[in-house]
Structure 1
Amino acid sequence: MAIEEPGVLWRDGVYFYAASNFAKQHLFYPMWGATYELDSPYRIRRDYMDAYMIQYVARGALHFKLRGHHFVAKEGELVLLACREKNDYWSEGTARVKWFHFNGREVGPLLERIYETNGSGHMSTFFGARVEPLIDDILQGLKSGNCSEFQFSRDLYSILCQLAEQSLEKEAPAEESVRRAVAYIRRHYAEPLSVQDIAESVSLSPYYFTRLFKRIMMTSPHLYLLNHRLAEAKKMLVYTRDKIDTIAEATGFQSSSYFVRAFHREMNMTPKAFRQYFSAAGTHNRYKFEQEGGSDRQVSDKSGLHESKK
C-alpha cells in the first residue's frame, strides 16, 4: 500500500537517480525530485540531511523558516535550501511546487555565495524565470532516466551560477557604488591610483568602501586594480611591439621591475616569455589590433580585479 503524505494532493514522482562514484567526486548531481500539488496540512521539518534542495513555486505559495528568517515564496519564485541545516516549510493553501534534492563536493561554497549575495536563499521571479527551464530539464531527466551525469551537472552548475549573480531588477545603492568604482578603475588604471582615490570617487570612506567592494566583488579593490592592469598589459604584449618599460608605464605600474614580478606571480612566466608564446600570430594580431583602434590601449576586459598603487 502506498504511503500517503499529509497535504500532498497529487504528485509526479518521486524519481530517483543513482550517481556514479565519479559524479560524487567531481560533479554536481541530482538525487531525487518530483512535482507536488499541495495544500494544508503539508509541512516538512528537517534537522539534517546530507543534501541540498531547490523548490520552485509554480503556483500558489509556500512558507519557509530558514536561518532564522520566515518568508513566503510565491508563484514564480524559488528557494535554495541547505538540508544540512534546520529548515521548516509548509503550505497554508493550494500550491504546485517543483523540487529536487542534489549534491556535489563543491556545492557548499557556491551556496554560501548565493546566500551572501541574495539573502536567505529566497530568490525572486527574476531568477525563477531564468532557471525554471533548467529545473524542468532536470526533473524530466530524472523521470526519463535518459539524462547523462554530465548534463545533470552542467544544468545544476548553471542554475547555481545564475543564482549567485546580482539581480538586475533593482540595483541597491551598495551595488551601484561598486559598479561606479569598477568603471572608475577601468578608466584610470594607468594612473597612480590608491584605494583612497577610488573610494573618494564614489564618496565613501576607504574602510567602508573596501569592505563593500570585497563583499560584492569577492576580491579587494587593490587586487582588482592589479589584475586589470595585468590584463591590459597582456594585450599590449600580444598586440604591440612596445618595450616592457613602456608597457609597465602605460598600464600604471610603478616600475618595470615591479611589473615583471607581478606578472610572473600570476602567470609563472616573464612578460618576454608570454610575448614569445604568442609570437607566431603576432603580425596578424597587431594588424587587427591597430585596425580596431587599439592604439588608445583602452580595450575593455572583464577578466579580473586589481590593485592600486601608492
Structure 2
Amino acid sequence: MPSPKRFFPLEYDSFRLPGNPLAESFPFVIRECGYCQERKLVLGTTNNFNQYLLLYSLEGTVRYSKNKNTQYIQPHTVVTTACNTTLTFTRVTKEWKFYYFIIDGSHAKLFYNMIRTQNNLILSNPFSAVLDAFIELYNITSNIGSEEKSGAWNYMHINQQLQTIFTALYDISYDIAEIKELTPAQETSVNTALKYISENYKEDLSIDAICNKIGFSKYYFCKLFKQQMGVTIHQYVNDFRINKAKELLAYTKLSVNSISSNVGFKSTLTFLRAFERSVHMTPSEYRDYY
C-alpha cells in the first residue's frame, strides 16, 4: 500500500504563542509548538503541572528521559506526558524529525488522563489520521495572525484537530488494553536482552554472552536488535553504562576511575572517550555542571 501524499513544511521552526482572551475561551490552548530537526530537545523546565506535551516522532531514533527513566523512541511514536518535570530527548540516529505541541486549557487534563499510558508512549500507524492531524494542527498554528481566516476560525480548527488527535490516540490505547487482556504477557527476545543488560552491565558484557542468554545466533539477533531499537547492541550497552555513570557523577563523590569500573568499562580511557562522544563534555565537566 503506497504511503499517503503529505506535505511537510519547507523550514524547521518552533515558537511560543502569546495568550489572548479569544484563545483562552476554548477547551484547548496551544502554548508552544514546533516542526523540528534537533540533536537535543529539553522541555518542561519552564512549564507547569497543567501543561501537556504531544510529540509525534517522524524519523530517526531518539533517547527519551524523564524522572531518571530512559526509553528509546522509534519513528511514528507519539509521546504524551505532563510537563511537570524536565523532559530530555537526545538524538541517537543521524536525523530526528518531529512535531510537538505543549497545550493546556479547561479540557487538557481530562483528555490527557484518558490516553495516558504507563511509559508515556503510543505507537501510531503512519497511515492513520493521527499524523495528518499533527500536520494540519501545525499548519494552522503557524499561520495564526494571517489575514486569510479570522482568529475565531483558527482557534475552532485548532481545537477540532486536537480533539481528533486525542480521539485517535484513545482508540489506539483502548485497542492495546483489550489485546493485553486477551493475550498473556510474554517477554520478547529483545526485552529479555534489555533486562539482562540492566542486570549485568557492570560485568564484562560481550555480545556473545547476550546472544547465548537469548539462545539466538549472533548475526540474527544483532540484526533483530538493530531493527527494533534503532541502535546496535554495542551502542545500547555503551549508552546504558553512560547513563549510569551520569547518575554516579551527579549523586556521589566517587572518582572518575571508580565510576568507570563501576559501570563496566574495561579502562578509564575507554570510558572517557565514550562519555565525551555521547555527552559532548568530560565526566568532570558534567559533574561540575550538574
TM over 0.5: no
Structure showing greater Rg: 1
